[in-house]
């Protein structure tokens, strides 16, 4: 399967989760094994080495886990507040449609770890900035940030580049 064919399975859902939002639904892509393999292979191919994949709840878990397994590296979930059982660190961030919090276990990454941060969509950049801050607070470095889909009009790349110009940010699809 070609990458374009796999990406064509992404469904656009208007006014979800709230009016004015165009949601990119990747569940049809996830349901197709060839498409999922193609996309996770594309996301996981980095010019920068990494020891761990950080996946952001919820769809970053799906993509990130597949990348970690394929590349035989560890997977670290960054979860919504109150979902991790051990001591955590947290960041509050703005969304296109509200505010949220992500957390990581305080021992999730070490100083010699290099993280590939994975999420499905880059919109305003708030989620990824929070994830970057958590990785750095844990003492690890960031090899790259990758997303399946970037919504360019919402300015997320500019936000990340203004705060972290040294971090490579890659999107499979830009719209």
Is 168:48 a contact under the CB 8 Å cutoff? Answer: yes
In terms of Cα–Cα distance, which of 155, 165, 87 is closest to 126?
A: 155
25's tokens:
């639904």
Assign 3-state DSSP to the chain and report helix, strand, coil percentages, each to 5.
35, 35, 35
The CA distance from 12 to 65, in Å, is 24
96: annotated active-site residue: yes
Catalytic option among 59, 79, 91, 157: 59
Catalytic option among 24, 91, 96, 150: 96
163: annotated active-site residue: no
21's tokens:
């939002």
Residues with a known catalytic role: 59, 96
């Amino acid at each position: 399967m070609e990458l374009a064919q796999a990406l064509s399975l992404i469904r656009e859902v208007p006014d979800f989760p709230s009016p004015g939002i165009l949601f990119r639904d990747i569940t049809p892509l996830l349901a197709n094994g060839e498409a999922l393999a193609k996309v996770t292979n594309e996301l996981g191919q980095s010019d920068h080495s990494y020891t761990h994949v950080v996946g952001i709840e919820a769809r970053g878990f799906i993509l990130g886990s597949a990348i970690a397994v394929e590349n035989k590296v560890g997977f670290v979930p960054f979860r919504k507040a109150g979902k991790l059982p051990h001591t955590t660190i947290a960041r509050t961030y703005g969304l296109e449609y509200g505010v949220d919090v992500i957390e990581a276990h305080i021992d999730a990454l070490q100083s010699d770890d290099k993280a590939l941060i994975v999420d499905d969509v880059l919109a305003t950049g708030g989620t990824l900035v929070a994830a970057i801050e958590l990785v750095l607070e844990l003492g690890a470095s960031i090899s790259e940030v990758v997303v399946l889909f970037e919504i360019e009009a919402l300015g997320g790349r500019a936000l990340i580049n203004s705060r972290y110009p040294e971090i490579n940010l890659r999107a499979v699809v830009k719209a």
